Structure 1
Amino acid sequence: MRHNYQQHPESLFAESWTTGAEVEIGNTRFAEALPRLHSLALRTSEWITVIGGSRDVIARLVAAGVSRTRIRWVSGRDQDHREWATEQALLAGTSSLVLSFLDDIAPRMEQRLKMASKVSHTHSFVFNELPSSTPLH
């Protein structure tokens, strides 16, 4: 299953799929996605891989009930490295959940990530922007 998130801070454009034809589109915030992320994380004992992101993202996952010992964090030097790391994490099939923080991705890369997620049966969320730890006024 894969989710794409973009637009305004902490908001998401979501597209999800499974091996069937399930598609879900909507807007939500990173904080609102945490219960679902926690639920998905509890289904297996595999890794939760975070690519990009920040310490705040890791802290929020832990606060939501995801064990810190199951989280692996790949920072990635730039957009290309984070895209490559996301695709590799999906293809490896060792994670139950892959969360990536990427800038706008090209349609070709989006298709590659979609196919990698489908082949490995790994849930994947791609966020366009980092969640803000402080309210913006």
Structure 2
Amino acid sequence: MRILLNIIWLIFGGLWLALGYFVAGVICCILIITIPFGIASFRIGVYALWPFGKTTVEKPGAGAASLIGNVIWILVAGIWLAIAHITTAVAMAITIIGIPLAVANLKMVPISLMPLGREIVSVDARPQYM
């Protein structure tokens, strides 16, 4: 089922969302001081191409530097990427088939706003808490 949802996702919005992340990553890498943001943007861009079967978890040891970086990210690119996710979610939710895709879009809004201090892992590999 994940493969089918990923294919539908890729065709109806994932490619455009990933392209937005890749453009943000290239811009951040050109502005040498923001290379860590560019790397995070490329990482999330790959996640935006094939999101089903993956999730995000907090990185252990992420501290104040991640918080400061996330504030800068929100101002530079995060707000625009979050708006793109919300807009795409609304468009996908119009059809019954698109509702799971809209939910996936809304789940990506937090990482599009604050990518630093988060890690993308397989759903099967995420830590299990008791």
Fold shared per TM-score above 0.5: no
Q: TM-score range by the shorter chain?
A: under 0.3
Which structure has the bigger radius of gyration? 2
Higher helix share: 2
